[in-house]
Amino acid sequence: MGRALKHVEIREYVRGLALESAPGVATPSERDLVDRFGVARMTVRQALDALVAEGVLERHPGRGTFVADRDRVPTAVTGLSQELARCGLVVETRTIAVRRLAAGPALAAAFGVEVGHQLWLWQRLRLAEGRAICLSETHLPAAMLPDLVEQPPPSLYAALEARDLRPTWAEDTLSARTATEAEAALLEAAVGEPVLCRHRRATRGQLGIEVTDTVFRADAQPLQITLRG
Amino acid sequence: MGRALKHVEIREYVRGLALESAPGVATPSERDLVDRFGVARMTVRQALDALVAEGVLERHPGRGTFVADRDRVPTAVTGLSQELARCGLVVETRTIAVRRLAAGPALAAAFGVEVGHQLWLWQRLRLAEGRAICLSETHLPAAMLPDLVEQPPPSLYAALEARDLRPTWAEDTLSARTATEAEAALLEAAVGEPVLCRHRRATRGQLGIEVTDTVFRADAQPLQITLRG
DNA sequence: GAGTGGTCTAGACCACGAT
DNA sequence: TCGTGGTCTAGACCACTCT
């Protein structure tokens, strides 16, 4: 078992402090951490730089380093379950269908594979407090996740994380339209009601991981995205 | 006139190289930059760290540092003009109205000011190739931009940048609904047509800068957001 | 083997904020 | 005045890739 890098060890120590502290609380000073871990100051700064870049900490020259507001942390690539949980919703997920299909030109381009490559198509309905929120159609490379159909996981991103396939990059395209008949039936909405659509393409490095189209009811919890500078 | 910090000088030099190079092209190695600028390697790394964090460069251990794909650079806080330009649209902006109003409870909370604080309300219509794209209602602190009404700038974010007030943080809330009568008229759309709504709250540090509600035609260029991490 | 980025040391001086 | 973060030096050794 490999020993953790020093800057990682310090980073996770300070992250732990930040998570159990209220926003605005000061973290140990850089020189305190130098003494505590017996490292050079540049190593401590490397650890803190990462947490500042993540939005977990804020530095104030001359004053110190402080825990940042939680709701100011920028949005990262995560699954809808976590995104909605962040907005305070407990989400139930129902798998509507899982089947294989051959990639057409658009999906093949999105995944960077040849036309005809085998993909999973996984349809899910999400509910909060018994009411339908959204309907998703997720495409995944079948060869990468051969066992998906046998036991659909409660959270896609948790399952990807466990296989070291968590996306590191995603492009979301947002639009609005009216619900189709099939969507309206599953979302318990009226045909022609407006819906919010999100098309997501997610990769890990150059590796295509996920293409998902999600259709949200207009009166559901809206999508929140936090950006930085 | 203050001399630029070394790491800033190096960062902007390399950013210039990156902007005029194709994605995948190698940048000078860290030791090359050490020689070129006569600095320590940690200083070069500080400069490159910033560009890697921005998504401009990618490091590949053992191989080198390379220009990242442009369309993989994560979305930052920018104005709609720049966002749409990034999608290849040339946008025309028409000011519909500018007037003052007193902040109600919701706006006061968003800006962190008292109820009754004076704000600008700036309504704009954006068009591309002669067709309406979206309708915006922007709220700004009147005291911060006293001269806005006299000469509405073509780009809000450029005007804020010039005053050192460019937002460093924004929270977007996205939803769908049907167009109101007034919106439909301005957007040249039918009443009841679906629209995409974006509510943005933007700040610079603790300073509230902008609250904007934008309504997009359903058939307009959809919003694109690129995430990392 | 030569070159690359990744990690780390043990200092230094500065500007700034609080007291 | 003292502590803080911001900047910077001049090295070091490592794992990795490429040839």
My answer on whether A16 and A111 are in the same domain is no
For residue B142, the 8-state DSSP code is: T
Same domain, B201 and B153: yes
Q: Is the CB of B4 under 7 A from strand D?
A: no
Q: Are residues B140 and B174 in the same domain?
A: yes
Average pLDDT over residues A84-94: 87
**C9 C1': nearest CA residue:** A40
Q: Which of B64, B58, B61 is nearest to B33 (CA)?
A: B64
Inter-chain contact A169–B76, Cβ cutoff 8 Å? no
Give residue-wise pLDDT tens across range A157-202. 988 888 888 898 999 999 999 999 999 999 998 888 999 999 999 9
Q: Is residue B222 part of a domain?
A: no
Q: pLDDT digit string (tens) for A117-128?
A: 999 999 999 999
Per CA to C1' distance, which residue is closest to D17? B62
From the Cβ of A45, is strand C under 7 Å away? no
Domain count, chain B: 2
Query: Do the chains contact at B170 and A72, CB–CB below 8 Å?
Result: no
State residue B183's pLDDT score: 94
B114, B57: one domain: no
Contact B199, B215 (CB under 8 A): no
Contact assessment for residue A145 and residue A163, using Cβ atoms and an 8 Å cutoff:
yes
- Mean pLDDT, chain A, integer: 91
Q: Which residue is nearest to nucleotide D4 (CA to C1')?
A: A62
A207-217 sheet: strands from edge to edge:
A91-102, A118-128, A131-141, A207-217, A194-204, A169-178, B223-228
Q: What per-residue confidence (pLDDT) applies to B19?
A: 94
**B38 CB inside 7 Å of strand D:** yes
CA distance B70 to B56: 7
Claim to verify: residue A140 and residue A54 sit in the same structural domain: no
Residues B141 and B213 in one domain: yes
B1 or A47: which leads in pLDDT: A47
Same domain (yes/no): A24, A56: yes
Residues A56 and A99 in one domain: no
Record the tokens describing residue B215, joined without a space.
């309504």
A224 is a domain residue: no
A94 and A198 in one domain? yes
* Two structure tokens written together for B203: 């700040």
- Cα(B103)–Cα(B115) distance, rounded to whole angstroms? 5
Whether residue B73 is contained in a domain is answered as no
DSSP secondary structure string for all residues of A147-169: TTTTS--S-HHHHHHHTT---SE
Q: Which nucleotides of C are covered by protein (CB under 7 A)?
A: 3-12, 15-18
Protein CA B50 to sugar C1' C13 (Å): 23
- For the record, the structure tokens of A164 come out as 């070291």
Judge whether B167 and B202 are in contact, CB under 8 Å: yes
As a rounded value in angstroms, the CA-to-C1' distance for A94 and D2 is 61
pTM of the model: 0.88
B42 touches strand C (CB under 7 A): yes
B70 CA, D19 C1': Å apart: 31
Instruction: Write out pLDDT tens, residues A7-31.
Output: 999 999 999 999 999 999 999 999 9
Residue B223 lies in a domain: no
**Residues 6 or more apart whose Cβ sits within 8 Å of residue A101:** A118, A119, A121
CATH of the domain at A30: 1.10.10.10
Tell me whether residue A213 is in a domain: yes
* Residues above pLDDT 70, as percent of chain A: 99
Instruction: Inspect the interface and report whether the beta carbons of B76 and A228 lie closer than 8 Å.
Output: yes
Does one domain contain both B95 and B27? no
Which domain range does residue B134 map to? Answer: 90-217
**Cβ–Cβ < 8 Å for B14, B47:** yes
Residues B96 and B34 in one domain: no
pLDDT band at A3 (very low <50, low <70, confident <90, very high): low
The residue in chain A having the minimum alpha-carbon distance to the alpha carbon of residue B224 is: A173
| Total residues belonging to chain A | 229
The CATH number of the domain holding residue A165 is 3.40.1410.10
**B226, part of any domain:** no
Residue A225 lies in a domain: no
Is the same domain home to B45 and B109?
no
* Residue B150 is assigned to a structural domain of this protein: yes
Strand D contacted by B42 CB (< 7 A): yes
Give chain B's residues under pLDDT 70: 1-3
User: Which pLDDT does position B168 carry in this prediction?
Assistant: 87
Q: Is A16 helix (H, G, I), strand (E, B) or coil?
A: helix
Q: Which of A34, A52, A67 is the last residue in one of the domains?
A: A67
